[in-house]
Amino acid sequence: MSNITDGKAKVKARVLSQTMLADNIYDLWLETSLAARAGAGRFIGIYPKDASRLLPRPLSICEADKEKGALRIVYRIAGAGTAEFSGWQPGKEAEILGVLGNGFPVSEGKGNRVILMGGGIGIPPMVQLAKELKESGTETVIIAGYRDGQLFLKEDLEKYARLLIATEDGSAGTKGNVLTVMEEKNEEADVIMACGPMPMLRAIKAYAADKKIKAYLSLEERMACGVGACLGCVCKTTRKDGHSHVNNTRICTEGPVFEAGEVDI
């Protein structure tokens, strides 16, 4: 199908497999030509089949198998669109848009000790990121924060780095959040790369600033078009945009990954 802008394309994909990992969390593998351009922290848009839902749902890339031409998307049911996706079976044809956004700067890990922090549905992007960091020879630790003992993707993360776990209810690992683990285990980092809910990212930004650690944050935000046209996912920045001369930026195009000091969250 036709290209959109800046190498983004709307293409056909085929469902290879789908399983439920935890309550309302699904693991979807798609066969697609877009796998060749996937990278840690980037995302795709998946179009619902229901004609009443015109816009694609933005979902982060959990893992890419470039040899097999496949993308892995791990998502939580959040509405009618993702509820529809959860019923898709192998062989189902879908339309997707991608590859979208700017991902994590894997090259920043070279020669540094990197700690990855994922919280909730911000955990899936850590799989591809940990894989790419391991391939680059970077010393990496992952801290994953869950609500409870449903530790989805635990085995996948352990393949690529040492994994530490926090749970809100204390049913596994350390009781608390990702920063609780950081402090109780006396972990040290040169660089932090994180994805998760906004309160978690705010806390990581403050922690990194206090400790003088470089941090990169992937901002989770509701999006509409996913290509920067609708301005539905604008966030405030600490510096003025050179074109618009305002302290705003679009998460879908300039992000979703930002250096922590660049965004006012």
Domain assignment of residue 228, yes or no: no
What pLDDT score was predicted for residue 222? 54
Residue that wins the pLDDT comparison between 248 and 214: 214
**CA geometry: angle at 167 spanning 113 and 77, to 5°?**
100
Residue 253 lies in a domain: no
Q: Are 114 and 88 found together in one domain?
A: no
Q: Which domain covers residue 118, as residue numbers?
A: 106-220
Same domain, 57 and 130: no
- Check whether residue 157 and residue 208 sit in a common domain: yes
Please write the tens of the pLDDT for every residue from 6-45.
Answer: 457 899 999 999 999 999 999 999 999 999 999 999 999 9
- Radius of gyration of the chain measured on its C-alpha atoms: 18
Task: Give yes or no: residues 132 and 111 share one domain.
Answer: yes
Q: Which residue has the higher pLDDT, 230 or 241?
A: 241
Q: What is the pTM of this model?
A: 0.89
- Asked if the structure places residue 76 within a domain, the reply is yes
pLDDT per residue over 125-181, tens digit each? 999 999 999 999 999 999 999 999 999 999 999 999 999 999 999 999 999 999 999
Q: Is the pLDDT of residue 235 over 70?
A: no
Q: Are residues 117 and 207 in the same domain?
A: yes
Domain count, the chain: 2
Same domain, 114 and 213: yes
Residue 248 within any structural domain of the chain: no
d(CA 32, CA 35): 6
| Beta strands across the sheet bearing 70-76 | 57-60, 43-46, 93-100, 9-22, 25-31, 70-76, 63-65
Residues 214 and 158 in one domain: yes
Q: Which residues contact 245 (CB under 8 A, 6 or more apart)?
A: none
Question: What is the rounded average pLDDT of the residues 114-126?
Answer: 97
For residues 174 and 212, membership in a common domain is answered with yes
In this prediction, residue 209 carries a pLDDT of 97
> Percentage of the chain with pLDDT > 90?
73
Q: What mean pLDDT comes out for the span 201-205? A: 96
The CATH number of the domain holding residue 200 is: 3.40.50.80
pLDDT in tens, 207-227: 999 999 999 999 865 544 444
